[in-house]
Amino acid sequence: MLKIFYLIILLSSIMFSQQIDFQSPENIKLFADFLFCDNDYLRAIDEYEKYLVAVDDDLVQFKITIAYSSMNDCENAINKLGLIKKTSPFYEQSKIELLKSLYLQNIDSVFYAVAETLINSKSLYANNAYRLKNTALLLSKTELPEKESFLIPFEVEEKKTISDFYNLKKNPPYKSEALAGVLSAIIPGSGKIYTKDYGDGITAFLLTGLFTYLAYTNFEHDHPTRAWIFAALGAGFYVGNIYGSVASAQIFNAKVNFEFNEGVKLFLEDKKYFTPNYDFCK
């Protein structure tokens, strides 16, 4: 009789233990890890936050910052990175992650100050910070240091690309706005050809020439009204073309800047902003 009683107790306790406690910290963490690796960061953050109420976990705290960072929510990422304790095994990583988020938010004095602090520290990621700072310099209006010292922190395989960026930044292939205007004043359309706007340049040349010729022949054959109309049209095209050539040079230069900036940003993206690789989802 006593045996059966014990058996029932044992059986019922085992049976109830088979029920899944979805809200136990372990299960919350397991589920959050699944969401994190499924790139469902918003839900993963919610679950991790729930888990942190019960358990103090440095890894989870760090993963929350990575989740925010992956969603490009720099503000929250920065706030959460500030909460990583010095004793955390992810403290070093949190510094370079902070620098990345600051860079994505805005390249300003705070970014440079944090970068300098990290570079001058004995951090494992001091060189990463140095590389990120120098690459960010390419996107700012600050004067660049000497090429040799600028290239120091970069790896051998990065040096060629960075060196090309450096040269482009120092000597951008801009077109002079004044020269474009002067050229078009001398030969209509030549300013646009100088800014590589060949189609517009040839059209401007032909139209200005045509209206000038029409005005000239109409004056010659004593048709003053028509001659003045063509003269006005010709003058309009002439002046408009000079203005257009200056604008074309400005557009050309804006394009050069845009392509340069995009190139640098793509390079940084490709390099993951010099942050370490994490194997959270292996």
Partner 1 sequence: MISASKRILLFIFGSLTSVFAQSTLEQQFKFANQLFTHEKYFDAITELKRLQFFDIDNKFSFQSNYLIGKSYKAGAKFDEAVNYFTRAEMNSENDDDYFTSKIFNARTNILRRTTKQAEKILNELLNDPRFISKEKEINYWIGWNYIFSDEWEKAFEVFNENRLDTTLAELCKTVDDEMYSVNFAKYCSYLIPGLGQFYTGEYVSGTLSLGWNILFGYLTINAFIEDRVFDGIIIGNFLWLRFYSGNIQNAEKFAIQKNLQISNKALDYLQYQYKGEKP
For binding to partner 1 (CB under 8 A), which residues are involved? 7, 11, 14-16, 18-20, 22, 27, 30-31, 34-35, 40, 43, 46-47, 210, 214, 217, 226
Q: Is residue 180 classed as helix, strand or coil in its secondary structure?
A: helix
Closer to partner 1 by Cβ: residue 17 or 171: 17
Helix (H) or strand (E) holding 232: helix 224-270
Q: Residue 149 belongs to what H/E stretch? A: helix 147-151
Please, what is the minimum distance in Å from the beta carbon of residue 39 to partner 1? 11
Nearest CA-CA partner of 180 in 167, 170, 195? 195
CB of 32 or CB of 183, closer to partner 1: 32
What is the C-alpha separation between 262 and 139, in angstroms, rounded? 10
Q: Are 80 and 65 in contact (CB under 8 A)?
A: yes
Query: CB of 83: closest distance to partner 1 in angstroms?
Result: 24
Three-state DSSP class for residue 57 = coil
Q: Which is nearer to partner 1, 7 or 54 (CB)?
A: 7
Kindly tell me which of 68 and 166 has the beta carbon lying closer to partner 1.
68
Residues 150/144, Cβ–Cβ less than 8 Å: yes
Which CB atom, from 203 or from 250, has the smaller least distance to partner 1?
Answer: 203
The alpha carbons of the chain give a radius of gyration, in whole angstroms, of 33
Positive or negative: CA dihedral 232, 238, 241, 245: negative
102 vs 207 by CB, closer to partner 1: 207
Q: What is the distance between the alpha carbons of residues 168 and 165, in angstroms, rounded to a whole number?
A: 5
Report the C-alpha gap between 249 and 160 in whole angstroms: 29
Burial level of 165, CB count in 10 A (0-12/13-18/19+)?
A: buried
Closest CB to partner 1 among residues 103, 205: 205
